[in-house]
Amino acid sequence: MYTAAIIVAGGRGTRMGNALPKQFLPLGGTPILMRTLEQFITCSRIDEIVVAVPMENITETKRLTDAFAPGKPVGVVPGGAERQESVFQGLAALRPECGVVVIHDAVRPFITAPLIAECVETAERFGAATVACPIKETVKAVEDGMVVETLDRSKLWIAQTPQAFRAEIILRAHEQARLDRFLGTDDCMLVERLGHPVHVIEGMDENIKITTPVDLAIAGVILTLYERGGNGC
C-alpha cells in the first residue's frame, strides 16, 4: 500500500523555556526534527512525508527539508493549536491513493526505520497499530492527594509513536472526533472510540519524547551512546 507519514511538529515548546520551538533545537548539532525525519526518509515503506509545523515556521521548515531530505517527497503544512488539529491538517494534505498513514511526534528522534516498517506492516494487516513499552514502575491512582488504588502494572503500557492506521480508519476517526468535539491525547484514542482494536508493538526505552530541558539532556546522553556504538538505554 502507498504509505504516508505525518510528522507532528506543531508545538511551540513552552515547557522547554526556549524561544525556538523544541523541534528545531539542535541535538548533536542537527535540529531534532531533521534527526527524526532521517529515519522516515531511509525507511523503504514510507512513500511520502508531511510535516505539520506552526505557521510562522513553515519557511524555515521548507528550507531545512530541502537541504536535509532530498529524494523523497516532503510537504509542509501549518499545524493547529492542538496536536489533533495538526494531524488533521496533515491528513487533509495526503494523496487520495494513500492506503496507510503513520503518525509520529517530531520530537522522538530515536525512532528507527525497522520499527517504522513494522508499524506499517501491522497496520496493513490489522488496521491500527501503536508502538508502546510495558511500564516498569508501580502506578497509583490518586484522588485529593490520597492513594485510592494500586493499578496492575502487568496490563499497563506507555504509548509512544509511531502509530499507524489504514487511511480510511484514521480519517473516519478524526472526522468523528471533530463532529463530537472530542479531543484525545493520541490518535489511537480516536480509533478506539470507533470500537476498532489497536495492535501493540513493543517499542524502545530510548524512543523518548523531548519536551523539557531534562529530556534534551537525556537525549544528548542517548546520542553519545549511539555514536559510541552502544544500544541506547
- Residue 21: alpha-carbon gap to chain centroid: 16
How far apart (Å, rounded) are the C-alpha atoms in residues 22 and 84?
A: 18
Domain annotation covers residue 211: yes
What CA–CA distance (Å, rounded) separates 40 from 185?
Answer: 23
User: What are 4-43's pLDDT values in tens digits?
Assistant: 999 999 766 566 666 678 899 999 999 999 999 999 999 9
Lowest average pLDDT, out of 20-34, 88-102, 122-136, 198-212, goes to 20-34
Q: What's this model's pTM, rounded to 2 decimal places? A: 0.93
Non-local (6+) Cβ contacts of 42 within 8 A are: 113
Is residue 233, in this structure, part of any structural domain at all?
no
Cα gap 36→127, rounded to integer Å: 24
Of 204 and 19, the one with more pLDDT:
204
Given a cut of 50, whether residue 215 has pLDDT beyond it is yes
Q: What is the DSSP string of 23-40?
A: GGSEETTEEHHHHHHHHH
In a domain, 232, yes or no: no
**CATH code, 202:** 3.90.550.10
Q: How many domains does the chain have?
A: 1
**Does residue 31 belong to any structural domain of this protein?**
yes
The answer to whether 105 and 219 are in contact (CB under 8 A) is no
Domain that holds residue 92: 3-227
Calculate Rg over the CA atoms of the chain: 18
Q: pLDDT at residue 93 above 80?
A: yes
Beta carbons of 128 and 172 less than 8 angstroms apart: no
Q: According to the model, what pLDDT value does residue 16 have? A: 63
Q: Is 65 inside a domain boundary?
A: yes
Convert 207-222 into a string of H (helix), E (strand) and C (coil): CCCCCCHHHHHHHHHH
Q: Are 102 and 4 in contact (CB under 8 A)?
A: yes
Alpha carbon of residue 56 to chain centroid: 21
Rounded to whole angstroms, the Cα distance separating 52 from 49 reads 10
Residue 10 confidence (pLDDT): 76
Can you give the pLDDT at residue 226? 85
pLDDT of residue 137: 94
For residue 22, the model assigns a pLDDT of 87
pLDDT tens, residue by residue, 97-113: 999 999 999 999 999 99
> Taking residues 128-152, what's their average pLDDT?
96
Q: What is the residue-averaged pLDDT of the chain? A: 92
- What pLDDT is stored for residue 227 in this prediction? 82
- Residue 232: predicted pLDDT: 41
Residue 63 has pLDDT above 80, yes or no: yes
On the question of pLDDT at 51 being above 80, the answer is yes
Asked if pLDDT for residue 120 goes beyond 90, the answer is yes
| Confidence bin at 233 (pLDDT 50/70/90) | very low
In this prediction, residue 14 carries a pLDDT of: 60
C-alpha cell at 126: 490489522
The pLDDT score that the predictor gives to residue 172 is 97
What does the pLDDT average to over 132-156? Answer: 96
